[in-house]
Amino acid sequence: MSRFPSIRAGLLGLASALALSLAAPADAANPVLKIGFVGVTSGPAAAWGTSNVRSMQTLAEWWNSQGGVKIGDKTYDIDVVTFDDQKDPKRAIAGMEKMAQEGIHYVVGPNVDDGAAAVRPVAEKAGIIYFPYAFPKELYAKPASNAVLGMVASYQSGPAIYKYLKEKKGVKTVAFVAANESDPLSQRDSGVAAAKALGLDVVADKDTYQNDTRDFTPVLTPIVKLKPDLLVLSGVAPANAPLLIRSARELGFTGLISTETAQDAKVLEEGAGDLANGFISVGGASTPEIRSKAMEEFIERYTKKFGEYNDESNTKVYALQYIVDTLKADPKAIDNVDEFKKTIDAFSAPNPYLKDSSASLHYVGDTSFGQKRQLAVPLVVNEYQDGKFKTLFVANVD
Amino acid sequence: MEQVIANGLYLGAQYALIALGLTLIFALMNVLNFAHGQMYVLGGFVVYQVYGLMKLPFVVALVAAAATLAVLGALLERFLFRTVIRRSEREESTMLLAAGIAYFLDAAILLMFGEKQRGVHKIVSGVFVWDNLILPWDRILVAGLAVLFIVAFILMMQYTKPGRAMRAMAQDRTAAQLMGVPVQFYGLVGFALGAMLAGLVGGLLVTITGVNSGIGGPISIKAFMMVMIGGAGVTGGAIAGGFILGMLESVGLTVLHAYGDLTYLAIFVAMMIFLAIRPNGLMGKPWG
């Protein structure tokens, strides 16, 4: 007889409980569906990628807390796998290769043109559908077929903004300034073409700056002297926008200032204060006037998780939603991107982020790319006013 | 033209202050501090926290930034650079250590303060207008403070006992040691002072240019350019390099603006030719 019967019994009980606890989750836990992100989450443009990652993580956590997402006859937990490419195309390739090694078929990002172009061969070879926030048309037009544009392109929003400003604010002359990098320069060129097509007088279209410039007064001094009605900050990074606005206003510029990229109200408030009032930019795709209760809950969860919200996440929330809803429509696409491509053409699902119950998630892009390779998200144009964005107008693409 | 000169002088004053700390550390320790830009960024974030978020007076925030960076500099010298210098005779060892610290600080700052651009409200509002010249008052104040700090630094180096000791170390470390200068102590003081200057200018400029976690590297590159122009390890050289770079930027961006981004191309070409003719910069000595 054991000298310590109670201890032996206790140990046996503990072992049984441990065995049960180890066995139980294996039966109960959902299989995991990995969705990737490759984009910029550090440096001056970090806000673009961070809003992607945080939107994906918030949404995935929300779904997982509700028991996961049902695709076909299985319920999955969503796991977001992230990679910071530091806005470097070489690192973007490494990131996409990492996604391929992990067996991931759906990747959000990259955030900029050269990164998105660089990952194309890897994505096509490894069978990955990726959702860049970059605008080169060749990524989305045939023979390319694996990239789906995640937002409204500058060549789609630019003409709409200039037309609005020409008709409503009497803009006649326009000057462009861009960072000396591929994205801003290509956005400047498409903006110049759009402005000329509308009959606007382009008074400056060559002025550039280094992306790491900290003081923009010397850059803007010659442009401000031209006194354009509108100053376009082509492809401006959120970190640089307040500095450019502040320098222009302090130099006495009284015209309008706009950009086709999304911005952050808090960053504008801190960096330029009241001088940023009237600044026009493309906004997140769910303004207070049009957003649903689900969008409001998403914003609340995001703010609770990360401390502050980024208006651009109103757009960035869509990519993961589209991926999962498309997989729900065709469960075979979960590991077969050819199925995904087939499903895109006829796909339609309710848009959970808009009040309008007839609004749907669907793919667009026929007009710009000749095939459906763009997420349909509302084009929202905002005006910054006293720390907040005010909606100027909402439109649809395609 | 007045505006171009004023822009150049303003840029020059802030650049000179950035370069001073870098050249001081190089002169005393023979260390190329690749983490100088990250120290600038940290100074900016300290001011953002203390002045922008905690709403304490700007002077308090500036003192906090200077003190934080001085302590960080002293700790880095005492526990990392001094150890590496003692154990390794190869100069690359300290360069690699500095590069490692730069990457570490980049990551730590990103974790602590996030990815967003941060800024604080203007310390002085209003704009000075005179004929064709437009200068915001806060820039005038910052440029004035930068010049004041530079003058104070020069006076300290010239007329105080620690200043004289550090100058002696910069000229000949062994001779200074033989003459009774506690070189380890003044090495620590010099490193702390260099880091403090980086934090001070970062804190000063957060009121105008803001700060974000990704700008450390570019700031370091600019600081190295100024030091190369003026001559490594020479206070006057760093100041001259700062003003020359500021003026070149201002003139270049005005004269060449219609031809695209040629300003930095022209500056780099001019610098390569200049260094080929005068490899030690304007005031640098061949022996360091």
**Cis ω on the peptide bond leading into residue A110 (within 30° of 0)?**
yes
Say how many CA atoms lie within 13 Å of B245 toward its Cβ: 30
pLDDT of B86 reads: 86
pLDDT of residue A371: 96
The segment with the largest mean pLDDT, out of A18-27, A45-54, A221-230, is A221-230
| Model pLDDT, residue A1 | 39
HSE of A227, CA atoms in CB hemisphere, 13 A: 0
Identify whether the C-beta of residue B127 lies closer than 8 Å to the C-beta of residue B135: yes
Chain A residue closest to B258 (CA)? A206
DSSP B148-174: HHHHHHHHHHHHSHHHHHHHHHHH-HH
Q: Is B115 in the A-facing interface, judged by CB distances under 8 Å? A: yes
- Give the least confident one: B30-39, B79-88, B108-117, B191-200: B108-117
**Per residue in A60-103, pLDDT tens?**
999 999 999 999 999 999 999 999 998 899 999 999 999 999 99
| Parallel/antiparallel/unpaired status of strands A256-262 and A280-283 | parallel
pLDDT of residue A108: 98
The sign of the CA dihedral A158, A161, A164, A167 is negative
Determine the residue among B4, B112, B117, B129 to mutate to test chain A binding: the one whose Cβ has the most chain A Cβ atoms within 10 Å. Answer: B117
**A241-255, A288-302, B33-47, B271-285: lowest mean pLDDT where?**
B271-285
DSSP classification of residue B31: -
pLDDT at A28 over 70: no
Average pLDDT of the residues of chain B: 88
Mean pLDDT across A159-172: 93
CA-CA distance, B143 to B12, in Å (whole number)?
9
User: A210, B264: Cβ pair inside 8 Å?
Assistant: yes
**In this predicted model, which residue has the larger pLDDT, A329 or B27?**
A329
In 3D, which of A375, A358, A371 has the Cα closest to residue A317? Answer: A375
Encoded tokens for B28: 């005393």
C-alpha distances in angstroms, A118 versus A122, A150, A190? 8, 17, 21
Domains in chain B, CATH or no CATH each: 2-277 (1.10.3470)
Tokens of B8: 């150049």
- Look at the block and give the residue holding tokens 């992990």: A102
pTM assigned to the model: 0.78
Please give the pLDDT value at position B288: 45
**Mean pLDDT value of segment B32-42:** 93
- Of the residues B257, B263, B264, B267, the best mutation for testing chain A's interface (the one with the most A CB atoms within 10 Å of its CB) is B257
Q: What is the pLDDT of residue A26?
A: 41
> Percent of chain A having pLDDT more than 90?
65
Q: Which of A141-145, A228-232, A378-382, B28-32 has the lowest mean pLDDT?
A: B28-32
Residue A337 predicted with pLDDT over 50: yes
Residue type, B180: G
- Answer whether A130's CB lies under 8 Å from A96's CB: yes
Is the fold of A32-151+288-378 the same as that of A154-283? yes
| For residue A366, pLDDT beyond 50 | yes
Other residues' Cβ atoms within 10 Å of the Cβ of residue A297: 12
CATH (residue range A32-151+288-378): 3.40.50.2300
CA-based nearest residue to A364, from A383, A351, A345, A379:
A345
B chain contacts of residue A222, beta-carbon cutoff 8 Å: 253-254, 257-258
- B209/A contact by beta carbon, under 8 A: yes
- The residues pairing with A209 across neighbouring beta strands, listed in sequence order, are A179
Would you say residue A7 has pLDDT above 80? Answer: no
Kindly state the helix (H) or strand (E) to which residue B136 belongs, with its residue range.
strand B133-136
pLDDT at A4 over 60: no
Give the 3-state secondary structure of chain A: CCCCHHHHHHHHHHHHHHHHHHHHHHHHCCCEEEEEEEECCCCCCHHHHHHHHHHHHHHHHHHHHCCCEEECCEEEEEEEEEEECCCCHHHHHHHHHHHHHCCCCEEECCCCHHHHHHHHHHHHHHCCEEECCCCCHHHCCCCCCCECECCCCHHHHHHHHHHHHHHHHCCCEEEEEEECCHHHHHHHHHHHHHHHHCCCEEEEEEEEECCCCCCCHHHHHHHHHCCCCEEEEECCCCCCHHHHHHHHHHCCCCCEEEEEEECCHHHHHHHHHHHHCCCEEEECCCCCCCECHHHHHHHHHHHHHHCCCCCCHHHHHHHHHHHHHHHHHCHHHHHCHHHHHHHHHHCCEECCCECCCCCEECEECHHHHCCCCEECCCEEEEEEECCEEEEEEEECCC
| Residue A10 confidence class, pLDDT cut points 50, 70, 90 | low
pLDDT over threshold 80, residue A213: yes
Measured in degrees and rounded to the nearest 5, phi and psi for residue B127 equal -130, 135
**What CA–CA distance (Å, rounded) separates A300 from B179?**
67
CB–CB of A214 and B215 under 8 A?
Answer: yes
Residues 6+ apart with CB under 8 A from A33: A69, A71, A76, A77, A78, A79, A327, A334
Q: Say if strands A280-283 and A349-350 run parallel, antiparallel, or are unpaired.
A: unpaired
Residue of A nearest to B262 (CA): A208
User: A324-329 long-range CB contacts below 8 Å, 24 or more apart?
Assistant: A324/A63, A324/A69, A324/A71, A324/A78, A325/A349, A325/A361, A327/A33, A327/A71, A327/A106, A328/A69, A328/A70, A328/A71
Average pLDDT over residues A148-176: 93
**Is residue B115 over pLDDT 70?**
yes
**Nearest CA of chain B to the CA of A7: how many Å?**
47
Per-residue confidence (pLDDT) for residue A25, from 0 to 100: 43
Instruction: Decide if pLDDT at A333 tops 90.
Output: yes
Band of pLDDT at residue B22, cut at 50, 70 and 90: confident
pLDDT of residue A210: 85
**pLDDT at site A14:** 52
CB-based contact B14:B146 (threshold 8 Å): yes
A372 Cα to chain B: minimum distance (Å): 33
Secondary element (H or E) of residue B128: strand B127-130
The distance of A203 to chain B (nearest Cα, Å) reads 11
Regarding the domain with residue range A154-283, which homologous superfamily does it belong to in the CATH classification?
Answer: Response regulator (3.40.50.2300)
Amino acid at A5: P
CA separation for the pair B246, B18 (Å, rounded)? 12
Candidate from A31-35, A178-182, B260-264 with smallest mean pLDDT = B260-264
Ranges of each domain in chain A: 1-30, 32-151+288-378, 154-283
**Rg (alpha carbons) of chain A, rounded to whole number:** 24
Instruction: Chain A: give the shortest CA distance to residue B280, in Å.
Output: 27
User: N- to C-terminal Cα distance for chain B?
Assistant: 38
Q: What Cα–Cα distance (Å) separates residue B231 from each residue in A104, A208, B152?
A: 52, 30, 21
E strand or H helix that includes residue B36: helix B36-47
| Amino acid at the residue B102 | A
Best mean pLDDT range from A91-105, A211-225, A279-293, B215-229: A91-105
- With CB atoms and an 8 Å threshold, state whether B210 touches A41: no
Q: What letter does residue B213 receive in the DSSP assignment?
A: T
Mean pLDDT computed over A162-189: 92
Q: Are B92 and B227 in contact (CB under 8 A)?
A: no
Task: Report the residue of B124, B253, B263 to disrupt the A interface, i.e. the one with the largest count of A CBs within 10 Å.
Answer: B253
Structure-token pair, residue A118: 């660089």
Percent of chain A with pLDDT over 70: 92
Give the pLDDT of residue A238. 85
Cα A7 from Cα A3, distance rounded (Å): 9
Residue tagged 């757009």 (tokens): A315
**Distance between A346 CA and the closest CA of chain B, angstroms:** 39
- Candidates A357, A354, A353, A358; CA nearest to A320 is A353
Q: Do the Cβ atoms of A206 and B258 come within 8 Å?
A: yes
pLDDT the model gives residue A44: 65
What number of other Cβ atoms are within 10 A of residue B83's Cβ? Answer: 12
Give the C-alpha separation, A51 to A359, whole Å: 24
The mean pLDDT of A158-162, rounded to a whole number, is: 90
Taking CA atoms, what residue in B is nearest to A213? B218
Task: Read off the tokens for A225.
Answer: 């002297």
pLDDT band of B73, cuts 50, 70, 90: very high
What distance in Å separates the CA atoms of residue A169 and residue A203, rounded to the nearest whole number?
Answer: 18
Residue for token pair 């941060």: B118
B145-174 pLDDT tens trace: 988 988 998 899 889 999 999 888 888 888
pLDDT in tens, B119-148: 898 888 888 888 778 888 988 898 899 889
Chain A neighbors of B47, CB-CB under 8 A = none
What count of residues does chain A have?
398
CB crowding A314-330: b at 16 or more within 10 Å, else e: bbbbbbbbbbbbbbbbb
In this predicted structure, what is the pLDDT of residue A13?
Answer: 53
3-state SS class at B288: coil
